[in-house]
Amino acid sequence: MSALTLSSVSSRSSVSPRQPEVSVSKPSALRLTRRGRFVLVGLPLFALLLGLIVGGSFMATQADASTSAAPSVAVVTVEPGESMWEVAQRTNPGTDPREVVAAIVEANGLASSALEPGQELSVPLFK
Protein backbone atom coordinates (compact mmCIF):
# COMPACT_ATOMS: atom_id res chain seq x y z
CA MET A 1 0.00 0.00 0.00
CA SER A 2 1.02 3.51 -0.56
CA ALA A 3 0.61 6.49 1.60
CA LEU A 4 -0.20 9.95 0.46
CA THR A 5 0.43 12.96 2.61
CA LEU A 6 -1.33 16.25 1.97
CA SER A 7 -0.07 19.50 3.27
CA SER A 8 -1.60 22.91 2.99
CA VAL A 9 0.12 25.44 0.73
CA SER A 10 0.09 29.01 1.79
CA SER A 11 -0.68 31.77 -0.69
CA ARG A 12 2.78 33.17 -0.21
CA SER A 13 5.28 30.84 -1.52
CA SER A 14 8.93 31.17 -0.82
CA VAL A 15 9.72 30.15 -4.37
CA SER A 16 8.76 32.70 -7.00
CA PRO A 17 8.39 31.79 -10.64
CA ARG A 18 11.16 33.03 -12.90
CA GLN A 19 10.34 36.19 -14.72
CA PRO A 20 12.27 37.26 -17.80
CA GLU A 21 14.70 40.03 -17.11
CA VAL A 22 13.88 43.27 -18.89
CA SER A 23 16.70 45.69 -19.32
CA VAL A 24 15.65 49.28 -19.25
CA SER A 25 18.06 51.61 -20.95
CA LYS A 26 17.92 55.29 -21.81
CA PRO A 27 16.76 56.04 -25.31
CA SER A 28 19.74 56.66 -27.51
CA ALA A 29 20.19 59.83 -29.55
CA LEU A 30 18.94 59.75 -33.12
CA ARG A 31 21.70 58.72 -35.44
CA LEU A 32 21.40 59.79 -39.05
CA THR A 33 23.24 58.27 -41.91
CA ARG A 34 24.75 60.39 -44.64
CA ARG A 35 21.68 59.83 -46.80
CA GLY A 36 19.41 60.76 -43.90
CA ARG A 37 21.26 64.04 -43.31
CA PHE A 38 21.01 64.81 -47.02
CA VAL A 39 17.26 64.24 -47.01
CA LEU A 40 16.77 66.15 -43.76
CA VAL A 41 18.74 69.20 -44.94
CA GLY A 42 18.67 68.98 -48.73
CA LEU A 43 14.96 68.52 -49.28
CA PRO A 44 13.87 71.69 -47.43
CA LEU A 45 16.64 73.67 -49.13
CA PHE A 46 15.51 72.39 -52.52
CA ALA A 47 11.90 73.36 -51.75
CA LEU A 48 13.02 76.83 -50.63
CA LEU A 49 15.09 77.34 -53.78
CA LEU A 50 12.21 76.21 -55.97
CA GLY A 51 9.86 78.59 -54.18
CA LEU A 52 12.26 81.49 -54.69
CA ILE A 53 12.56 80.75 -58.41
CA VAL A 54 8.81 80.46 -58.93
CA GLY A 55 8.11 83.53 -56.80
CA GLY A 56 10.78 85.57 -58.59
CA SER A 57 9.46 84.70 -62.03
CA PHE A 58 5.93 85.55 -60.90
CA MET A 59 7.07 88.92 -59.56
CA ALA A 60 8.97 89.67 -62.78
CA THR A 61 5.90 88.83 -64.85
CA GLN A 62 3.75 91.11 -62.73
CA ALA A 63 6.29 93.94 -63.03
CA ASP A 64 6.37 93.59 -66.83
CA ALA A 65 2.59 93.60 -67.01
CA SER A 66 2.30 96.74 -64.92
CA THR A 67 4.93 98.73 -66.86
CA SER A 68 3.58 97.98 -70.33
CA ALA A 69 0.56 100.22 -70.38
CA ALA A 70 -1.89 99.97 -73.22
CA PRO A 71 -0.83 102.23 -76.07
CA SER A 72 -2.99 105.20 -76.88
CA VAL A 73 -4.95 105.05 -80.11
CA ALA A 74 -5.32 107.62 -82.88
CA VAL A 75 -7.94 107.57 -85.61
CA VAL A 76 -6.31 108.16 -89.00
CA THR A 77 -7.98 108.71 -92.38
CA VAL A 78 -6.20 106.97 -95.26
CA GLU A 79 -5.06 109.33 -98.03
CA PRO A 80 -5.26 108.32 -101.73
CA GLY A 81 -2.34 106.05 -102.72
CA GLU A 82 -1.21 105.58 -99.13
CA SER A 83 -0.14 102.12 -97.98
CA MET A 84 -0.39 100.65 -94.51
CA TRP A 85 3.41 100.90 -94.24
CA GLU A 86 3.25 104.66 -94.87
CA VAL A 87 0.44 105.03 -92.29
CA ALA A 88 2.61 103.18 -89.78
CA GLN A 89 5.64 105.38 -90.50
CA ARG A 90 3.58 108.59 -90.39
CA THR A 91 1.87 107.82 -87.07
CA ASN A 92 4.79 106.16 -85.25
CA PRO A 93 8.10 107.58 -86.46
CA GLY A 94 11.13 105.84 -84.99
CA THR A 95 9.20 102.61 -84.32
CA ASP A 96 9.60 99.45 -86.38
CA PRO A 97 6.84 99.71 -89.02
CA ARG A 98 6.31 95.93 -88.99
CA GLU A 99 5.15 96.07 -85.37
CA VAL A 100 2.88 99.02 -86.10
CA VAL A 101 1.35 97.36 -89.19
CA ALA A 102 0.65 94.20 -87.17
CA ALA A 103 -0.98 96.31 -84.45
CA ILE A 104 -3.12 98.19 -87.02
CA VAL A 105 -4.31 94.92 -88.59
CA GLU A 106 -5.17 93.50 -85.16
CA ALA A 107 -6.85 96.66 -83.85
CA ASN A 108 -9.06 97.03 -86.93
CA GLY A 109 -9.71 93.34 -87.60
CA LEU A 110 -8.45 93.59 -91.18
CA ALA A 111 -8.16 90.50 -93.38
CA SER A 112 -5.52 92.07 -95.63
CA SER A 113 -3.33 95.14 -95.83
CA ALA A 114 -5.32 96.65 -98.72
CA LEU A 115 -6.55 100.15 -97.90
CA GLU A 116 -9.07 102.42 -99.58
CA PRO A 117 -8.87 106.22 -99.65
CA GLY A 118 -11.00 107.79 -96.93
CA GLN A 119 -10.96 104.64 -94.79
CA GLU A 120 -10.61 105.39 -91.08
CA LEU A 121 -8.17 103.26 -89.09
CA SER A 122 -7.53 102.99 -85.38
CA VAL A 123 -3.77 103.19 -85.08
CA PRO A 124 -2.03 102.33 -81.78
CA LEU A 125 0.57 104.94 -80.86
CA PHE A 126 3.81 103.53 -79.47
CA LYS A 127 6.19 105.58 -77.39
> Do 76 and 121 fall within a single domain?
yes
What predicted TM-score, i.e. pTM, was given to this entire model? 0.44
Which residues span the domain enclosing 40?
A: 34-68
**What average pLDDT does the segment 20-26 reach?**
70
For residue 113, is pLDDT > 60?
Answer: yes
Predicted confidence at residue 16, as pLDDT, reads 62
The answer to whether the beta carbons of residues 80 and 119 sit under 8 Å apart is no
**Residue 21 covered by a domain:** no
The domain total for the chain is 2
Q: For residue 10, is it within any domain? A: no
Which helix (H) or strand (E) segment is 123 a member of?
A: strand 120-125
pLDDT higher than threshold 60 for residue 37: yes
Same domain, 80 and 46: no
Q: Are residues 43 and 88 in the same domain?
A: no
Based on the fold, state whether residues 43 and 80 are members of the same structural domain.
Answer: no
pLDDT band at 14, cuts 50/70/90? low
Are residue 61 and residue 84 in the same domain, yes or no? no
More confident residue, 16 or 115: 115
For residue 16, being part of any structural domain is answered with no
Question: What are the pLDDT digits (tens) for 50-93?
Answer: 999 998 888 887 766 555 555 688 899 999 999 999 999 999 99
Q: At what angle do helices 84-91 and 97-108 cross, to 10 degrees?
A: 110
Print burial letters for 106-120: b (CB count within 10 Å at least 16), e (below 16): eeeeeeeeebeeeee
- Could you tell me what percent of the chain has a pLDDT over 90? 29
Q: Are residues 77 and 64 in the same domain?
A: no
How far apart, in whole angstroms, are the C-alpha atoms of residue 127 and residue 71? 8
Do 50 and 88 lie in one domain? The reply is no
